[in-house]
Structure 1
Amino acid sequence: MPVCPTRGRLDHLMSFRGILSPHRSLQSHEMDIPPSLQEAAEAYLQEEPRLLMAKGTLPEIAAQFEARVPEQARLLVQDMLDLAELYSTVSGHRNLRVRLEKITTDSCRKFHVDCVDLRLLRTYVGPGVQWTADQGHSVCEAPTGAVVFLKGKHFPGWERAKKILHRSPPLSSRPAAERVRLLLTIDEASACADANFDMVA
């Protein structure tokens, strides 16, 4: 398998342990998408299913993806596995759920908090997750490629953390070239399939 561009930066990314601070709800780190990884993501969008999901330990997830993803998208898989390892180290979870989803609608357009303890997001293609700390009066958006950790309401002591609400960026009002997203989501394996809790209409 080819060497993943993300792998060499994982030590630096361990700064994401800051998400474990009692008063923090979001941790974001901007990362570029190297051309080789961009090509793998585009190849996946051209040929692969709308939703790819695997559950289990890291070796089990790797085996599931190896059997389902073509060679031209393998660099994308390695990046996902590296981030799953990062998530496991930060969260302490050993059994994970890793989802790669093609999004073309205004899904999850309401600001909300997830019904999980800790979630990792990375958008390989298209705009990143949006969030607000003031009920939607001002909105921040993660750039493409950024790795974002979000606390959910099941995180121990969540009620003491700063309340950050997030949503998928609405796509319908954007230029045609920006109306598709390829989104990676990593959770603990027992997280429900649609683990969202709406907070703001």
Structure 2
Amino acid sequence: MPTCPDDMATAASLFETPATRTAVISEDFADLARIYEPDVYLCLVRRPPVPAIERFVGELLNEGKQIELSQALPFEHFDFSSLLPEYRGLEGHDAWWRDIARLTAAFCDLFETGSVGLRLRTLNQAMCPRFHVDFVPCRLVCTYGGRGTEWLADGEVDRTKLGLAGSKGLSDEESGLILGGVRAMPAHAVALMKGATWGGLDYPGAVHRSPKPTPEQPRRLLLTLDLLL
């Protein structure tokens, strides 16, 4: 499955893309379907944490074990209870994997696909520390514990400064890429982000990056779902 690019998708074409685009921020899960609207590049649905899932993920992160799972799976024939079998029986495991199954079902239904690329991993450092656009049509992101993915509003980013070439080696904060504030997805929220290949190549997808860990939140548990090309 694709990982975050560096110099991929650093220049955005505005072909068939509205001049003004918006991010949908909601508490209604049905609003994820608005990702199909031409002027929407990101849909973020806030969800209150489920106490059992929150406790389960907290214990998992405190344990310190590294988790890295990446696989293409057929939704109809995949046993989601097999995720992290070493934690089966721990309070909250059932609620957690059932939530992933629901998100995967919604993702597959929304994009009319029977298979999906699932990635699940714990992180104690920023996986993609620089702002970038994913080289995928669309990606679902959910941080179950720890700091959430950071992103920039469409009108508050200078896309010519994306990537090492555009930034001339400077950090995101120094290069002039960030024209406004850096936003963060809350834990347990579900986001759909259009990528560089939405509807074809050179789509100006959602600009985002992994957050830096803090002493208070040194680790995170991240789920991503990708459309398979």
What interval of TM-score do these two structures reach, taking the shorter chain for normalisation?
A: 0.7 to 0.9
Are 2:132 and 2:209, in contact at CA under 8 Å, matched by a contact in 1? yes
CA–CA distance in structure 1, aligned partners of residues 69 and 203 of structure 2: 34
Match of 1:44, SS state, is helix
2:224 corresponds, among 172, 185, 188, to: 185
Deviations 1:75-102 (A, max 9, x none): 2111111100111111222111112110
Stretches of 4+ aligned residues off by more than 6 angstroms: none
CA–CA distance in structure 1, aligned partners of residues 187 and 201 of structure 2: 27
TM-score, normalization by structure 2: 0.69
CA–CA distance in structure 1, aligned partners of residues 139 and 109 of structure 2: 13
- Amino acid in the other structure paired with 1:86: A
1:85 aligns with 2:105: yes
Are 2:54 and 2:144, in contact at CA under 8 Å, matched by a contact in 1? yes
Give me the identity figure in percent. 23
Match of 1:32, SS state, is coil
Unaligned runs of 5+ in 2: 1-27, 158-177
Q: Aligned-pair distance for 1:55? A: 2.2
Cα RMSD of the aligned pairs, angstroms, is 2.3
Matched residues, number: 175
Are 2:196 and 2:203, in contact at CA under 8 Å, matched by a contact in 1? no
Are 2:120 and 2:222, in contact at CA under 8 Å, matched by a contact in 1? yes
Q: Aligned-pair distance for 1:159? A: 5.2
Unaligned runs of 5+ in 1: 1-11, 191-201
Q: Which has the larger radius of gyration?
A: 2
Match of 1:98 in 2: 118
Deviations 1:32-64 (A, max 9, x none): 111111122234333764212342221333257
After TM superposition, list the pairs within 5 Å mapping 1:101-116 onto structure 2.
101-116=121-136
- Amino acid in the other structure paired with 1:74: D
Match of 1:20 in 2: 36
TM-score, normalization by structure 1: 0.77
